[in-house]
Structure 1
Amino acid sequence: MKEFGYERAFDVSGAVAVLGADPDARFLGGGTNLVDLMKAGVERPARLVDVRELPLGRVESTEDGGLRVGATVTNSELAAHPDVRRRYPALTQAVLAGASGQLRNMATVGGNLLQRTRCGYFTDVSKPCNKRVPGSGCPAIKGEHRNHAILGASEACVAVHPSDMGVALAAFDAVVHYETAEGAGELALADFYLPVGSTPHLETALPAGALITGITLPPAPVAAHSRYRKVRERASYAFAIGSVAAALDVHDGVVRDVRLAFGAVASRPWRARAAERALIGGPADETAFAAAADAELAAAEPLPQNAYKVTLLRNLVVAQLTELTQEAAR
């Protein structure tokens, strides 16, 4: 493990200034991903800037009825917050599905958004990987890819994003706020993660040296009727092989509003907009739910070992939306 410097930041402008002066520095939140990557030799920062003491640890309502979540809020705090549990239950469920209790107590919201893939070729520095060493190749395509992407991948990379929280945030149109030396900025989560293309090492649209300061969830009445379901290879703490965040508003058997996002199938949380368009204004029944899932998954390009994910996601969508419909009828 490479030696590194360490300092603690107490104000946002000071934290941003450090990275402006030292591009080899990294911000440190809970460290639940970064420290692991440092141990493996994937990340080799010259300095860590601890941001946990920054005044970014609150969850509060916005004037328009949404929520603002500070970047240093821990995953445990986010999942337990009464407004999150009541107004965005799928977000609570996603966070609780995301890791062990010990990790949730340390991991931060800002860090969760920036966590990197758990692809075995990425985390093994003895192997080539375009995400780690651009131009070196993607051995997963012809190697082990059972848990890799079926949507939005490319010949350069088939890794998936590991976040559960991010899937729920994608479903509810979250906005990421950040600070740079030039001032504050924001990115819709839909624009935050970059397409893989030929540059998988470029993962987000954050400007260089930017510090995530928080996220905003816009008001979404449909989010109160939501759930998150994660499928994994073992019941204990494990990353998803497929997941769905779903929210549904049904009136007189007709879908008035719906939100769908998939996890563990792409390099970023995947908003299922084709499925949503297929459902709005139509019947809330299993046939329609299956057709909507098929409309979204028509773009899937599975590899030999992960074609099962197409069927898995289809079944998850139907099950989630059927359960939400039944709940609404009670």
Structure 2
Amino acid sequence: MSSFKALQVSETAQGVFERRIVERELAELPAGEVLIRVRYSSLNYKDALSASGNRGVTRNYPHTPGIDAAGVIEQSSVAELAVGDEVIVTGYDLGMNTSGGFAQYIRVPAAWVIRRPAGLSLREAMLLGTAGLTAALCVDKLEQAGLTPVAGPVVVTGASGGVGSIAVALLASLGYDVAASTGKPEQAEFLRQLGARQIVARSELQEGCEKALLKERWAGAVDTVGGDILFNVVKSLRYGGSAACCGLTAGMSFKGSVAPFILRGVNLLGVDSVELPLVVKASMWDKLSLQWKLGNLESLAEEVTLEQLPAAIEQILAGQMVGRVLVRLD
């Protein structure tokens, strides 16, 4: 098979970005040691930005987005990865400036490829995807900083989104008292089913930007939105608490001061899932397949085909997406 289906984003002469399903040739794929037949991908906010022409994510078009892919190796020039191996690729340059997972085939460097852990199917791996990996990294950093379930409630911002929903489910499964913050009050029951014990309106976390400190509420936090909400959460951490931040949908900047750090000894922990060393990613995938394996993954996701993907991209750009979107590549 030399041709395959892919979502391609192109810029018109009028500067408009169009998305359509096209037939591509294997010869058009970039160089790399490993050719993978993609079975599943997933839709992330970064994918939607790439698919809408955001030059901060993708420099050159036409382009196939998709920062996640799970599939089967069809060609390999390295001994440690064999034809027939089931593998996962997330992050690095996949789907940004390298042709990504919204296609039936990808060709990538061997240094990006992880063998599928025995405890996860390819489908389960992409139900998690970069969102699940990021959520797990946030929880791991919080626990490394000393967070335990007895310390008190943990707030998750942007809780109905991809990273947020998995963070809620993961923290709840580990015994934490989870407060889910969302701007979608209609998703309260969805979040409770994931394990949230309380629902916090997004507007509540937007109050008090002008204050140096707020009342101590949270033992820890997973922040997926950034902006002033992030720093209001930091100002609301209990003494010695930590917030893991991984997103910026509410903005890249916030009004901040040193007060929470020097008066309450709190920690702001940055989390990146893109350029992590492969060995760190592999260890986290192992954790997600064993002691941190979630039993309610299917309830988090909507499944779409490649043909249905453009509509899902519009939905996530409009802020209407809930949970995860699994992309099936037939």
TM-score (normalizing by structure 1): 0.25
Higher strand share: 2
